[in-house]
Amino acid sequence: ITPHKVNYLLPVTYNPSPNNAPFEQSDEVHYPLDKVEAKFQISFKFPLAYNLFGDNGHLFFAYTNQSYWQVFNKDISSPFRETNHEPELFMLFNNDWQVGNFTNSFWGFGISHQSNGASNLRSRSWNRIYGTMVFDGGPIAIGTKVWWRLPEDEKDYIGDPRGDDNPDIGKYMGNFEINAVYGLEQHRFTMLLRNNLRKSNKGAIELTWSYPIIGNLRLYTQYFNGYGESLIDYNVHNQRLGIGVSINDLL
């Protein structure tokens, strides 16, 4: 078992405009969400098979959990506001294509399911087939990912447990993202860019900086601005700034 995406814990994050709407629509007693909450991500992968095509082609399973915790909100018993689950099955191929000063070291394709595990009006989920490439060039690495959403049936009525929970998610999440990491001595800077390439121009940017503390433990800061930080907020623009620690600095 090895890391897949970055594993981190941000004990303190600040969002100036929390999205209360999904919770106000539920039947539960509701109190305003705190602007300060914790956020963490656990992500790992493990190989299912190596060298399926001669000496190349490796099959992996991966799982990512991203959670938002209203840990300081004692009025509502400090609940987990949102948890996103994303299992994936994908193939990776080693490569050595040269593109300018960059080497296309990996390419692959896979299928993923992402869901927040909620029910009724707070349920969010989608399924995607995707392709990905990673380019290395000295202190810079760039990862590209494009996807196609698997279609789902429409709901017959509001609150229908079957059917598409979020039919317009593509308008906000688009069909691609670019990840970049830059190393400067022991500093690591990363950037995620996503856009729907439509006139509405909806997308997101995420910036991080990390620095080693001890061993694999790193001081980790994260800034997000845009749509789709989490599934419950996929169609809401928000900002978040957080600080904490990470245990790896992969793309």
Active site residues: 113, 115
* Both structure tokens of 187: 């500093």
Extended beta strands in the chain, E state: 2-3, 8-14, 36-49, 58-69, 80-99, 102-115, 125-137, 140-149, 176-184, 187-195, 203-214, 217-226, 238-246
- Pairing of the two strands 217-226 and 203-214: antiparallel
* Both structure tokens of 237: 């623009």
Cross-strand bridge partners of residue 181: 141, 190
Which residues, including other chains, have CB under 8 Å from residue 145's CB and lie 6 or more apart?
A: 130, 131, 132, 176, 177, 178, 179
